[in-house]
Amino acid sequence: MKTVKVVLSPEAEEAYKELNKKAKNSKAEKAILNSINKKTELIKENIHYGNPIPKKLIPKEYKEKYGITNLFRVKLSHYWRMLYSLVDGETKIEILAFVLDIVDHPDYNKKFGYKKK
């Protein structure tokens, strides 16, 4: 069985660190952080845990910057979202779940071009 390693992009790592800082004084940020940690463990158990995003809806920014061909969305608490892609690891016995972004709902809507009704 292949092992699954979860790796954060620089943007996701920055968001994670920012949430970590704010979590000391904010229940909301602490809940989001706990949600990220739980969902990361679920992804390690089942790499297809998240909702797949159709290829035609993958933001151009991700395709150009990281060359991804698949994208999954995971819902977090407080309407935040975590976006990840599956890529081959450094060895044949490893799969990487590459977390591209951890964003709040308004930023998620912007990335995917959704508009308020």
CATH 3.10.20.30 at 3-111, yes or no: no
pLDDT, position 8: 94
Nearest CA to 40 among 14, 74, 66? 74
Fill in the DSSP letter of residue 91.
S
Q: What is the pTM of this model?
A: 0.90
Q: For 50-109, how does the pLDDT look when each residue is reduced to its tens digit (9 = 90+)?
A: 999 999 999 999 999 999 999 999 999 999 999 999 987 777 777 888 999 999 999 999
User: Which has the higher per-residue pLDDT, 40 or 93?
Assistant: 40
Cα–Cα distance for residue pair 39/16, rounded to 1 Å: 13
Output the CA torsion sign for 78, 82, 83, 85.
Answer: negative
